[in-house]
Structure 1
Amino acid sequence: MSIRTKSSVMATFLLFTSVLFPSISLAASHFSTSPNTIKYSILSRAGIKEDTAPEELRKFAATVIQELAQQPPFTAWSEAITTIEPLGPGTHSWLVTIQDRETNSTSFPSGYLIISMTEAGEYKLIEYGMGPDSVYAISTLESALKNAGLSLSNNNNLEIVPVYSGPVLAEWAIIRAGTSQVEHYLDAQTGELLPENESSWKLQASRYVPPVKAAGSSSTHPEYLAGEEMSHLSPDQLVHTSDSFDPYDNILWMVENAMNVKFESFENVLVKHKRLIFVSSSQDRTYSAPLPVFGYQKWSLNDDSTLYIMSGSESSPRFISLQALTDSGKFIKYK
């Protein structure tokens, strides 16, 4: 997936651009580290141990994983182990990394959840996914640092913080050790260097509100929290409306008008058109990263339901709360 700058967007397509944001040139410094070293730096910067996540958060994450494990392609999650880490200071979001119990690989986890807490204290499932190119994959970060010429040696001269303010603001913040200033931001899925700075990040992050219609901990039985009953959360089987695709295989969507899609009718619209493009839109954004949409998974919530759209790729699918996207951008037909 490629990153688009605001200035190029305005110059070429007014809203979009076909010019890639240039990546930082390779430096002469030698990159030598391991995923475990990166992991240590992340946790050290966050200032919190892996086992200090709130009890209700851990139980909600376990509920979600248990329910997803009943449906392919998530069946391997039934015996997985999890690690819960904060996504940046003060954001009230957490990354739940799901690892195969046998391999316990930090480089290639089995999957992930991202959970945010509302002002009322309810935990919301914002997105989930799996595969080698998942959001916040350590292997992607390792390659990104190497390609950018950034060094993370054993003395931890760089500190890395995963930061998150919704699915269109999932990034790595690269901080020079001993300071509080962020030097670089990397895209958490592609690893690309972003035209982001602390001011632009804080401005956009301040607007993030966890979606009301996402699956939440309030739909869980109090009895289940005591370990006695199952949750009301229940995901249906995945629905593929098309094969996965690259938005840049056909860029005609860049000059198409955005669709007027309501939350309640989105499922029918996607089934009809098969492929859609989601594009983040805000006057505060410094870049735009289109997401392909080629399927969905519906969750039943008591007598209601909510939708998670399928993006990413076939090998690394990403399921994102529909409302989290409708709150931060628009959908366009892909021809």
Structure 2
Amino acid sequence: MKRILQRMTLVVSSFIISCSMTNVPPLYASAQLTAQQYMNIPAAVEQLAQDTLSKLSLELEFSSFANAELLIMPLGPGTHGYIVHILQSAEPVGYLIITATGSSGYAVTEYGTGSTPLFSSLLYPKDMTSSTDMHDSRFMKYNGTLAYWQVTDHDGHSIHIDASNGDQLPDFVSYASSPITISKSLEGIQPEDQPGKLELASIPFNPSSNLLWLVSDALMIHNAAGLMKQLDRHERLVFSAHKQNMWYSGPLAITGYHSWNIKQSDEALIFARTGTSSAQIRYIPIDKLLGCGSFYVPAQHNEE
């Protein structure tokens, strides 16, 4: 049974599930995933993941996705989604988040590159005295742009850990309302959609390394066109939701965008590129940002 479980852990690009015990990634060796979880992953989810990777890998930004292996894990209860870790030589190089849509289909609602993707075991605090399996879907939560683990300490108190950086979150994350986005319905990448323009405006940076943007005027950006116009000028931006920044893992460094052409729509789907280092670059739908905060031009200096 153990060998069967390990064989089911990785889904290779040819859809042949065939990995031996020696191919199980060390970073995931502690995951107590059941064979039943993997048998319940819909074929449509696997197909969408493979289709999306084949399209992304044509860009230099995502070249490490070519011929990659996939580890697909269910997200927490009520999420109706999956986290897909993209692996090369058993090491992570990126991720996808796939979510069920209202039309009984699936869509890629976030993706990214780097060696420490969302829910990476490298981000889980080493000093946590919990026997919780970090890859158990019961403890993996995803709300808007915030990914986190919810675990329990020895006293029965809930602890919330940001799955993008390993920081402990305030307790109110479990009951406070997340920001309401302008999206009227769930939008994401589906198999018939095609990638469009990829604009890399700047290298990753840390908005907290120079806080002069806090005393500057916010840019008048109210729609996708306005944001893309700024980034097309190779201008990096900071997005801040101020008091609600916790829901975004802090103020975000916006360093570019990626557009997708939607088959049955005249409007493109735009993902904002964000991240403070190349170890984790996230592409999130800009509709999750517009109307939820403000954009600023950070001070230019030699922080890099």
Partner of 2:160: 185
Partner of 1:164: 142
Give, in angstroms, the shift of residue 49 of structure 1.
Answer: 1.4
Aligned length: 266
Q: Is the Cα–Cα contact under 8 Å of residues 159 and 175 in structure 1 kept in the other structure? A: no
Partner of 2:93: 110
Structure 1 position 253 matched with structure 2 position 213:
yes
For 2:165, the aligned partner's letter is T
In 2, Cα distance between equivalents of 1:240 and 1:288: 21
Query: Among residues 71, 92, 115, which one is paired with 1:132 in the alignment?
Result: 115
RMSD, matched Cα: 3.1
Bigger RCO (CA 8 Å, 6+ sep): 1
Partner of 2:256: 295
For 1:243, the aligned partner's letter is I
In 2, Cα distance between equivalents of 1:332 and 1:246: 13
Structure 1 position 310 matched with structure 2 position 273:
yes
Partner of 1:195: 170
In 2, Cα distance between equivalents of 1:81 and 1:315: 19
Give, in angstroms, the shift of residue 164 of structure 1.
Answer: 0.2
- Identity of counterpart residues, as a percentage? 26
For the residue of structure 1 that corresponds to 2:171, the secondary structure is: coil
Give, in angstroms, the shift of residue 176 of structure 1.
Answer: 5.0
- Pair 249,285 (structure 1): closer, same or farther in 2 beyond 3 Å: closer
In 2, Cα distance between equivalents of 1:318 and 1:284: 16
Give, in angstroms, the shift of residue 128 of structure 1.
Answer: 0.8
Give, in angstroms, the shift of residue 98 of structure 1.
Answer: 1.1
For 1:244, the aligned partner's letter is P
In 1, Cα distance between equivalents of 2:68 and 2:179: 34
Query: Among residues 148, 166, 173, which one is paired with 2:150 in the alignment?
Result: 173
Structure 1 position 119 matched with structure 2 position 102:
yes
Render the CA deviation track for 1:261-288: whole Å, top value 9, x for unaligned: 1123321122247011112356696896
Query: Among residues 28, 31, 40, which one is paired with 1:39 in the alignment?
Result: 31
For the residue of structure 1 that corresponds to 2:79, the secondary structure is: coil
Partner of 1:10: none
Give, in angstroms, the shift of residue 251 of structure 1.
Answer: 0.1
- Pair 278,295 (structure 1): closer, same or farther in 2 beyond 3 Å: same
In 2, Cα distance between equivalents of 1:284 and 1:93: 24
Give, in angstroms, the shift of residue 317 of structure 1.
Answer: 1.9
TM-score normalised to structure 2 length: 0.75
For the residue of structure 2 that corresponds to 1:294, the secondary structure is: strand
Q: Is the Cα–Cα contact under 8 Å of residues 130 and 316 in structure 1 kept in the other structure? A: yes
Give, in angstroms, the shift of residue 190 of structure 1.
Answer: 1.0
In 2, Cα distance between equivalents of 1:307 and 1:171: 24
Structure 1 position 330 matched with structure 2 position 291:
no
In 2, Cα distance between equivalents of 1:208 and 1:118: 17
Structure 1 position 280 matched with structure 2 position 252:
no
In 2, Cα distance between equivalents of 1:62 and 1:196: 37
Q: Which runs of 5+ in 1 are unaligned?
A: 1-33, 221-230
For the residue of structure 2 that corresponds to 1:174, the secondary structure is: strand
In 1, Cα distance between equivalents of 2:294 and 2:70: 33
- Pair 251,77 (structure 1): closer, same or farther in 2 beyond 3 Å: same
For 1:59, the aligned partner's letter is Q
Partner of 1:18: none
In 2, Cα distance between equivalents of 1:327 and 1:256: 19
Q: Is the Cα–Cα contact under 8 Å of residues 101 and 186 in structure 2 kept in the other structure? A: no
Partner of 1:68: 56
Q: Is the Cα–Cα contact under 8 Å of residues 82 and 99 in structure 1 kept in the other structure? A: yes
